[in-house]
Structures are given as C-alpha cells and as structure tokens.
Structure 1
Amino acid sequence: MPGLPLSHEEEEKGEEEEEEDDDLEDTPLEPEDALRFVQSVGYVEPSKRAWLMRATLGIPPEPREWPNGCLLPESSRDRRHVGGLQWHHTYEMDKLSETCLPPMRYTECCDQASVGQERCFHKACPMLQVFCARIQTFLLADNTNPIEVYGCIAVRDSEDYSRNYLFNRSRDNPLTINSASDYLRLLSPKRGMSMQFDCLVEVAIRTKALSGDTDDKTLVDGCFDLIEGRAALDVLSRSTVEGEHGAIVFDLIIFRRGVEATISMNFLEVPGDGFDIKMCGFTAIWKNLYAFIDDEQCECDSFVSSVGKFARCFVVAVQFDDTLFIDFMEGNMPIAFEAAIHGSEEKLYHFRNGAAVSVEVSWSTTHY
C-alpha cells in the first residue's frame, strides 16, 4: 500500500535526521567517542551492537548500491578452470591451489637495511576488503525451513593469482542458513587482497537437496572481476551477484591507499574453565566495521581454553591515514592502533573476568 503523504513538519524532521546521519558519517571518531559508546552499551549481541553503532556513531556508513556483479563468460565451475578465454589465462584459472604468500611480507623495510639509507620505497596501495556476504534466495521463503549451503568464495589477485579463500566448506560440512541468519560465515583472508592491478572473485555456492528434492541446487556459480581503473574507490559499496537459485550480496570497499593489518593475540591469563570472547574492529576516519569473532558472520571458534597464542590471526585492509580500534565488546576501552606502512605494535587488554591478552597489530603493504 502506498505510504501516506508526509506533513511539512514530518518532512523537515526527516531531512534533519538525514543531515544528522550525514554528520555522523563525516565526523571522525575520537577515542573519547569510542569510550563513551562501549561503556554505555557494554555487552550486547553483535547484530544489536552493529545497529547501535550505526545509530550512535555512524559505523558503518550506509553502503552505496553498485550495479549487480556481471559474471564472466564461461565462468561456471565446469568451465572456469579448463576454458581458453583470455581472462582464464590472465587470472591463471588452471591453478586450484591456495595462495602460499603469507601476510606481513613487508612489515620491515629491507631496503633501508640493505642500502643503508633512510628512504623507503614501499607505499600504501589499492586494496580490497570484503566485510560480509549474505544469501538471498526464494528457498528461504518458508521461515521454518533452513537450508544448508557449501562451496567456496575466493579472491585471485596479481600477487600470485592463487585462491585467497573467504569461504570454503565441503558438502559434508555445510553451513545452515535461515531467514533470521542469512550471513555466510566468512574466513579471514590468508593475506591482504591487492588491487594494485585487477582482481577476480570466484564464487561457487550450492545448497544441499531439500526434503523432497533429489538434487543439490546451485545458488551462485561464476566469476566476476574488479577492475582497478573502473571501480569506485574509498566508498563502502554493496554489490549483488545473481545466480540460478539465488544471489549473494557483498559489502566491500576498495581502499585507494590501503595497508594490511595482521591482528594476533597471545592470552596471558585465562580463567580455569575458559571463556568465550567476541571481538570486532572499527576505524576512526572511514568508520568501517570489521567482524572478527562473532556467532554470525565469522568462521572462527570463540572459546579460549588456556593461555598461549590464539589459534587464528585476522588480516584486514585499513586506509593508511586511519586508526584501527580493537574492541572486545564488553564495555572496556577499545585498543587503538594507528595505521602505518611498516612495523608492529603490541598492547595489553584486561577482561572483566580477570583474563588478559596481548594484542599485536603488524602493518605491511601488499604490493612492492
């Protein structure tokens, strides 16, 4: 039913609210802003917290709608690795291996040590960051029937054109999706994703046969490329990739001057019976929101059972002139790390239950 026309006062109020949202998005955060927010919110579920951060701090900004991702010809899973088109050769699609390049390749500047000069030749460069991916499908029309999905999403960039996985589940280990929780649980990429030149996103997501069906269904199957000279830079964007029985909606950004942040944790004190942690990150200037450890968007075990190194590191792209806050979402002050070309910084965080963790953020470029 069409909406009722707004009164003059309602129109003015709506305009004022839009202006307030714009102000939130354009105003950089100070550490005091973050402190006031986390202390007032304390611990809430990640989905509710994300809503509160958007309403209170403008994090993240509303994404801009991109045109739908256009799948390349002969990019289905039965053709992409054996085809003879130019893009098959450019992205070396016959290689099925995971990237062997690690993160933190340029955390230290070898140039300065080797030539004995203070000049550094490394610089921030275009980088891709995928924040989340959601499933859209008519198969979820009935709220009582979840679906089980499996397959992979991988990014191939010019650093080695091997797969850098964001999602990777076999048919024997599917992810359950329902209308209330339609996120794919993404992996942290193995290393930062370079957009110094073009990169390609490889998608093959299927659903296991539902009751009464005999065959699995293909949700999305194909590849699309991101062209550095044509993509919108420094804009949080939402892009939909449509397939046979559904679509995947990506929230992503291509930073013009990105650096790679690798976050690792070493637990120094842990309660005797262990505990669950939640962790997110957000930035001061660009106001990006990173989901590191939660129950909905991330493929990560949140239980800490003993002291020592946490099993996972998290690799993200951050704009070079920004500050990254690491927040354990329990009401204490988040830890702030200023983005840099090189170097590592380590800071201590004390949990309210007495646990303590040393958080280290290492900065590197992705391309030399």
Structure 2
Amino acid sequence: MTREMMHIFSLKLAISPINSGSIQLYGYIAARDEYDLRLNYIFNRSREDPIIVQQGSLIEMTGPKRGIAFYCDVLLELDMRIENGENEGDDTQLIDGMSEFRGLLMPWEPTEIPINGDCATVEMSAALVSYAVAAIVEVIISEPHGVFHLSLSSIVCVVEEHEFQLFHGSASDWCGARRFVIVVTVNTMLHLKFMVGERGANGHIEDTCSFKAKLNGDARHLMNFEVASILTIVTWAAWPHGMFY
C-alpha cells in the first residue's frame, strides 16, 4: 500500500562563515522516522572525503538510502563541520543539533526550510508526498570513451511538476553504479533527464526517460551516447518495502 512520505529535494549552504571562497564541508544530516529509528543518511561525508562548497551552492546529497515514512513526525539530526587544518580539533562546527518535523505542519509542495547553526544556515527543500511509493533508481555507466560531463535531474509531480538535481559533475567521479531513492505519488510519472557533454566541447546532448509509478515491479531503459552507454533501472517499492529497502 502507499504511505505519506517526506521527500528532500535539495540541500544548499545558504549562509556560510566565509562570504566568498570555498570551504571543505564534512559531517552528516540524517533522518529518523517512527517506523525505523535507525539513521537514514541524507548527507554523509567523512573528514577524509569532504565536499567543496561555497555560500549559495548546492550540497550534493549522498542519500537517503530508503524512503522516509511520515506517519506523525520525522526527526532530523545534523553535525556539519569545516575542515581547517591537520587536526580535527581545529575544525569549525557549523551546525550541531536536531530538528523535528511534524506531519500536520509539513508543506505539500516543495518548500525551502532554513536550518540554522551558530555560524551557518543550510536550506533544505522538502515536501510531504501523499499516496507515495519509493523509486529505487540505479544508474550504470558502461563503455565510457574519454572524460565527459554528466548532469542528472529528476522531474516529479508534487502539486505541480518539480525538477531537482541528482548529480552534476565529471563522469569520472561516477564510481560504478549510482543509486538514488525518489519519492513519487503512485500512478504519476517519474522523468529522469540526462545531459551529457564531452570535456572541452561546446553544448551537450539531452535525453529523458520516463517511468510510471507503481506499487511494485521494475523497469529499465538504455541510452546510447557517443561517449558512453547509460542503463537506468527503476524498482518500485511500496509500503513497507519502500521504507526498509
């Protein structure tokens, strides 16, 4: 059966202690729902593998790994820091705390929600999705020819169509298969938009594959570009499998 789920579309470093210039950000943001109290990581980077961001830029998410059930409440835990030198003790704490989201107060359309720390603000775009199933999306790149740039976005209907970025960068950063969990209202369409361009070349090639949200089952779509072949596999998981996949 379907459930109400929380979907997080994006994270952005809205306010940084450094107004200009880049920072090396690490730590985690994780959700706990009432059906599974374990941490479900939205963002998780170690000090040895920080992400480089600056004020106003998106923070690339590493999760979630399963759907976030929204029966009543969802608890968000945050511990985010800036790497400043060789010793962890010299690092700057950006945000450290918890934030509770209540179902009755959660917006039904993607809304920017600020999460404030002592010296920074992370802006989270999120919504409550009704009659939802989880799309487990696996993207596999094979037969690459040289270095190329890849941008992957998802378009779903939440009140109205909403597009959000899943990945943007060099395909050399794409290690094997990548997996994403996207919350979709059953019987609506999930669109995945790929933009591929060769390094140093002007312009890019754009292609889209679409899947209808179902209670279960899977589907796949193969795209053949000059620079690589991209296989997309979507597995639909309704309650309870969408929660504990």
AA aligned opposite 1:345: A
Distance of aligned partners of 1:304 and 1:276 in 2 relative to their CA distance in 1, 3 Å threshold: farther
Q: How far did residue 275 of structure 1 move?
A: 4.3
Q: Does 1:317 align with 2:183?
A: yes
SS in structure 2 at match of 1:340: coil
Distance of aligned partners of 1:355 and 1:246 in 2 relative to their CA distance in 1, 3 Å threshold: closer
Alignment check: 8 A CA contact 1:146 1:178 kept? yes
Give the TM-score, by structure 2 length: 0.82
SS in structure 2 at match of 1:229: helix
CA distance in 2, matches of 1:277, 1:127: 29
Alignment check: 8 A CA contact 2:29 2:43 kept? yes
| Larger helix share, 1 or 2 | 1
Alignment check: 8 A CA contact 1:194 1:367 kept? no
Q: Does 1:262 align with 2:136?
A: yes
SS in structure 2 at match of 1:219: strand
SS in structure 1 at match of 2:36: coil
Q: Determine the structure 2 residue equivalent to 1:364.
A: 237
CA distance in 1, matches of 2:13, 2:120: 7
Q: Does 1:222 align with 2:88?
A: no
SS in structure 2 at match of 1:278: strand
CA distance in 2, matches of 1:174, 1:266: 24
SS in structure 1 at match of 2:17: helix
Distance of aligned partners of 1:274 and 1:228 in 2 relative to their CA distance in 1, 3 Å threshold: same
CA distance in 2, matches of 1:171, 1:304: 18
Q: How does 1:1-368 map to 2 (within 5 A)?
A: 123-137=1-15, 139-141=17-19, 143=20, 145-179=21-55, 182-209=57-84, 215-232=90-107, 234-267=108-141, 270-273=143-146, 275-283=148-156, 286-295=160-169, 302-303=171-172, 310-330=176-196, 331-351=205-225, 353=226, 355-367=228-240
AA aligned opposite 1:126: E
Q: Which runs of 4+ in 1 moved over 4 A?
A: none
CA distance in 2, matches of 1:318, 1:178: 31
CA distance in 1, matches of 2:52, 2:138: 28
Q: How far did residue 208 of structure 1 move?
A: 2.9
AA aligned opposite 2:24: E
Alignment check: 8 A CA contact 2:140 2:178 kept? no
Q: How far did residue 197 of structure 1 move?
A: 3.5
Distance of aligned partners of 1:347 and 1:173 in 2 relative to their CA distance in 1, 3 Å threshold: closer
CA distance in 2, matches of 1:247, 1:284: 28
CA distance in 2, matches of 1:153, 1:260: 20
CA distance in 1, matches of 2:60, 2:18: 17
CA distance in 1, matches of 2:145, 2:227: 11
Q: How far did residue 188 of structure 1 move?
A: 2.5
Amino-acid identity (%): 23
Question: What do residues 282-327 of structure 1 show as CA deviations (whole Å, max 9, x unaligned)?
Answer: 12573122322213xxxxx73389xxx9422111111223201111
Q: Determine the structure 2 residue equivalent to 1:119.
A: none
Q: How far did residue 276 of structure 1 move?
A: 4.2
Distance of aligned partners of 1:243 and 1:333 in 2 relative to their CA distance in 1, 3 Å threshold: closer
| Larger strand share, 1 or 2 | 2
Question: What do residues 91-139 of structure 1 show as CA deviations (whole Å, max 9, x unaligned)?
Answer: xxxxxxxxxxxxxxxxxxxxxxxxxxxxxxxx22111111111123352
Alignment check: 8 A CA contact 2:155 2:163 kept? yes
SS in structure 1 at match of 2:109: coil
RMSD of the TM alignment (CA)?
2.6
SS in structure 2 at match of 1:303: helix
SS in structure 1 at match of 2:133: strand
How many pairs does the alignment contain? 229
Q: How far did residue 162 of structure 1 move?
A: 0.6
Q: Determine the structure 2 residue equivalent to 1:48.
A: none
Question: What do residues 217-238 of structure 1 show as CA deviations (whole Å, max 9, x unaligned)?
Answer: 2221111111123322x21111
Alignment check: 8 A CA contact 1:261 1:318 kept? yes
